[in-house]
Amino acid sequence: MTDAQIGLRCPKSDEYKYGWKKVDSIPADEVCVVYLGGDGATDDRKANGYTKVAQNDIKTALQIDVPIYGVTYDFAGKNPSFTRKIQFLKHRAATLLSAAKAEQIKEDAADENADEAYLEKLYKNIMEPRIVPTQKGRRYSAEEIARNIRKITFVTHCHGGYVAYELEKRMRKQLESLGYSLQERKNILSQMLVVAHAPSCPLGVQQSSFYSFRSAYDGQGETGWGILPEYIRNRKLEERIRFAADQNGDTPRAAQNRYLELKPSYLEKKRLFIIKQKHPWLNDEDGPFMTNPDEHGDITYGHPQQTPDGKCMMFFSRNLMISGVKNSIENAQKFTPLPPLEELIAVHDVNMDSAERQNFNAKLASVYKTLCANGKKLIAEAIKDFQTHGR
């Protein structure tokens, strides 16, 4: 049976020499960050590495310490990539097929790899205490639950995006079973903030505030269906052909193929920030054959070898995480709903004076508008390409 353990980043001591201690659950009203790492986070060292990144950036910007939790997975020999594929399949089925047919596909897809015990455990120890009070006869109001959920800021990488989406789905189901109205459920779910790096899950289907960051040349991110993923896959292939043609002096073949010109974009429906690549090609001979594992694994918000586009994307994601924490702290006294994305990506660094922050954020707002415009152009280009080539 699969399992998961929650750990809390802590000062190093004789008892906790790695600065990491296991906990059974997270207090129901605590302001905190929960880092759901990739499927490689199967030991304390790897899980703690994720939390260190978040802790350093939050402390630098806000000059405060908040509890930073991480998760280690025990997949019990099962293949976690299988469950991610099933999640995509369920999403595809739910989109295109009848409810009965979708349910049949889910049943047929049952496999020994699809053991969700660790997901159930994480939900019980992270989410459920914020929804169901331990006191008998007590029932949280919808606003109390929204406030409790808002006190958590989730940061994820790869498989962690899949996990966050699964936690959200379980929350949806429980809220409905407890009798909260549709509008109450929407309000509560909207307070769950997820900052997702290269998430391996369907995008744009979450009811939570699930914002994603990825590069087109990260082959381990979203691999779902649709015009845009297909467009990017085809254009990357076309770019490789063009690069080889240029290297070989094959002018006719080069003329038939294009390089991928993808400007940093924000796709509103998918809540996705996307760039072409975080890292430059290793050398001129490599061309678009990405062999640098950091294209997927770099989640440090400031790797020195990042492209300007990569630095821009990491800057926005860092701001989003910090803004989420700041808003969580504001919820310590009263319910302060999550602000819109335009405010979440703004700088809140206490090391800057107010005038400097205001000027800087005005520039950021302009960049954000450009990213939104680029996103619309990208979608239009993908649709045009689909119509032209019949793909």
The band of 105, judged by pLDDT with boundaries at 50, 70 and 90, is low
Please, which residues have CB within 8 angstroms of residue 349's CB and are 6 or more apart in sequence?
60, 61, 62, 322, 357
Q: Which DSSP string do the residues of 333-360 spell out, in sequence order? A: TS--PPPPHHHHTS---TTS-HHHHHHH
Cα angle value 303/309/311 (rounded, 5°): 30
Position 100 scores a pLDDT of 66
Q: What is the pLDDT of residues 35-58, one digit of tens each?
A: 999 888 888 888 888 898 899 999
Rounded distance between C-alpha atoms, residue 120 and residue 280, angstroms: 40
Average pLDDT over residues 317-340: 91
Position 135 scores a pLDDT of 85
CB 199 within 8 A of CB 212: yes
CB 73 within 8 A of CB 118: yes
Position 296 scores a pLDDT of 84
Rounded distance between C-alpha atoms, residue 362 and residue 389, angstroms: 41
Q: What are the domain boundaries of the chain?
A: 1-78+115-222+264-391
Q: What is the pLDDT of residues 50-90, one digit of tens each?
A: 898 899 999 999 999 999 999 999 888 777 766 666 666 66
Rounded distance between C-alpha atoms, residue 291 and residue 349, angstroms: 35
Rounded distance between C-alpha atoms, residue 255 and residue 245, angstroms: 9
pLDDT at 103 over 70: no
pLDDT at 177 over 90: yes
Q: What is the pLDDT of residues 202-245, one digit of tens each?
A: 888 899 999 999 999 887 755 555 788 889 888 989 999 999 99
Position 92 scores a pLDDT of 57
Question: For residues 28-37, b (16+ Cβ closer than 10 Å) or e, as one string?
Answer: bebbbbbbbb
Which residue has better confidence, 187 or 224? 187
Rounded distance between C-alpha atoms, residue 52 and residue 49, angstroms: 5
Rounded distance between C-alpha atoms, residue 30 and residue 23, angstroms: 14
Position 21 scores a pLDDT of 94
pTM (2 d.p.): 0.90
